[in-house]
A and B are shown apart, each in its own frame.
Chain A
């Protein structure tokens, strides 16, 4: 019955912690910030890319596009007799074919006309197809970027017609028009795009930072809670009802739950921001945009970017969620047990910062070991430091989830890393239980690590 009463300590500590102003205010403020950031990240691109999205959406729906160009004069000297009407219907302008002789006079008219017109001339010279285009002068309101879009579409049609005239089958034309993807790869390494490489670097660095902040900040709270109990002299009273082990177990688990609760609240607020902004955000339109971009040949690189992002998050499944939770809890236990010991080694609150200094050094070392190698691994390749960091108990909590999520390690490797962390927590737990029992009533100067280790060694 050494753990008798730990649930009461757990319940009291939890209820008191979540009632503190610092917890309520920090949770509300950070949750609000995260909600706003995710909503903004979803909504902002819709406004920044308003014109482009509108155009692609119209293409996708088959409706005439609200382009600034209302008329296109085209002189086709290629003899291919390309049907540009398809483009005219899609973009919603009128098409008028003109003879090559009329071209110069139309060009003169274009300089002064108030009509939102465009003039194009397709011809072949030295075996090369060319397409020149002009848009109306200062009296009109033609948008040059609309003209570029139309020109690109006309060019595609012209090429397709040319290939058709050479007797190339329509499926072969599609293949040819898709172009050739090129990649320069290092032997023995899977192909990744630049976007993927960026994701592979940014996600681990961000997750290392977030996990470090949560685990470390809340571990310090354990040290503070124990130190308050000692400095306020409540400890001696508690020990007539519960064992020292119950006290530290109850406190550590309660604060672990508080931190997990805040972590979940912040994730939920991010999801909330995303969901609330969904009707107005870019993500509600993304599938349609990708499909339209694909059909029209517009935005192929954007489509690839989306595919890369999807690929990077394709491992975010139930395994990943469990690994995140286990890593978080075990990492928290690892650091908070050390913190509890630091809190118990002092009897005055003013000694707290000095007492947690060794833990701060271990934490900082673990964080940098998890964080810094990511900078040198832009190509997503695992280096020696990254591999080591995943198995050391003081650094693995900060890098394991992202490594698994990005597919840098297998489930087996992740489990091995978690087992190493669990073993460290158990060993630490045994040491802490031994030492804590002996120093819990200590009221002298701050105990050094050596003194505590001596206590652990001599106590049976």
Chain B
């Protein structure tokens, strides 16, 4: 069982929203689908789910073109909602029926999910009477009602308080452990690092990074250095050609070329009797990678290339 996306492209009125997107999702796990706002994530998801017509490309699920109406697919859309005036429980039975579940099959699933999400007390209420967080729980329940094999969660944690965010995370973890294929789009990079092994990063419709997160990090090496000391050490950094990336209360961040350069820097500080409080040499975080690929520096680079 695998999801294979090949050369997916889409443009609107001459604007290229998604350009030649390809990736493979071969093992049950959580796959990160990342990008800045407007990068083309939702458009790609809609094309994968066949809601939007593709300009080109194929979406294969279990080796065949994905027929979203026939497969068990759970989807939590970024722009989500419920019928505001209708009873929550009736809506759930309706969504279950659209997924092909009989009432007798839907009832235990609803009982389980509503219990797991702590929303049993809202069953008979109209959706508009629920808080945004509780509506989001109902929508997650709707996405999972058919025990889907492929789950697509577009910003599942946005707008949730920490307690409910943890609840959602635990449910995502449970689904992952059940052997589901989960594609998750999220702007909280710590959460992605917590869950995901593989990722795709989109920027202005183009894939700017993709693959296994650990391997990507390793390929960058330990190039991020944070230093904090009891007195000024910037002249030493200057001597060995290090430039400051960011100066924060927790220390000064540098980009180093190699472990040797970092060791040289430390040695020089010690020789000058500088008391080093913090010297942290590490791989880049996903947040840093994201900013590097999609942040202002990347945009400057694009402008230069265009020029």
Residues on A facing B (Cβ under 8 Å): 1, 4-5, 8-9, 11-12, 16, 20, 228-229, 231-234, 236-243, 438, 441, 443
Question: Which chain A positions have C-beta within 8 A of B97?
Answer: 8, 11-12
User: Contacts A5-B98, A242-B98 given: A236-B82 contact, CB under 8 Å?
Assistant: no
Interface extent on B, as a size class?
Answer: 20 to 34
What 1/0 flags go to B37-60 for Cβ under 8 Å of A? 000000000100101110000000
Instruction: Say whether A242 contacts B77, CB under 8 Å.
Output: no
Taking CB atoms, residues of chain B closer than 8 Å to A5 are 69, 98
Known pairs A238-B98, A240-B73; A233 contacts B81 (CB<8 A)? yes
* Complex-state Cα separation, A243 to B84, whole angstroms: 22
- CB atoms of B49 and A240 under 8 A apart: yes
- The reply to whether A232 and B69 form a contact with Cβ atoms under 8 Å apart is no
- The number of residue pairs between A and B whose CB atoms lie closer than 8 Å in the complex comes to 68
Q: What are 13 sample pairs from A and B whose C-beta atoms fall under 8 A apart? A: A1-B70, A5-B98, A8-B94, A16-B90, A20-B85, A232-B81, A237-B142, A239-B49, A240-B74, A240-B75, A241-B69, A242-B98, A441-B46
Q: Is B68 an interface residue (CB 8 A)?
A: yes
Q: Verify B52–A441 contact, CB threshold 8 A.
A: yes
Which of A1, A11, A234, A441 is within 8 Å of B51, CB to CB?
Answer: A441
Residues in B neighbouring A240, C-beta threshold 8 A = 49, 51, 68, 73-75
- Contacts of B53 on A, CB cut-off 8 Å? 438
Looking at chain B's contact residues, is the secondary structure mostly helix, strand, loop, or mixed? Answer: loop
- Enumerate chain A residues within 8 angstroms of B77, measured Cβ to Cβ: 233, 236-237
Question: Is A237 a contact partner of B94 (Cβ separation < 8 A)?
Answer: no
Mask, B94-110, CB within 8 Å of A = 1, is 11011100000000000
B51, A236: Cβ atoms closer than 8 Å = yes
Instruction: Please list the 9 inter-chain residue pairs (A to B) with the smallest Cβ-Cβ separation, ordered nearest first.
Output: A233-B81, A241-B98, A232-B81, A236-B77, A8-B97, A240-B75, A12-B94, A233-B79, A239-B51
Q: Is the CB of B80 within 8 A of A236?
A: yes
CB-defined contacts of A239 to chain B, threshold 8 Å: 49, 51, 68
With A1-B69, A16-B86, A232-B83 already in contact, the answer to whether A237 and B51 are too (CB < 8 A) is: no
Quote the shortest CB–CB distance from B230 to chain A (angstroms): 55
Residues in A whose Cβ lies below 8 Å from that of B94: 8, 12
Known: A239-B51, A240-B75. 6 other contacts (CB 8 A): A12-B94, A228-B84, A236-B46, A240-B73, A241-B98, A441-B46
Q: Nearest Cβ distance between residue B287 and chain A, in whole angstroms? A: 29
Asked if B139 is an interface residue, CB under 8 A from chain A, the answer is yes
List of B residues within 8 angstroms of A229 by Cβ? 83
Q: In the bound complex, do residue A234 and residue B83 qualify as a contact, i.e. CB atoms below 8 Å apart?
A: yes
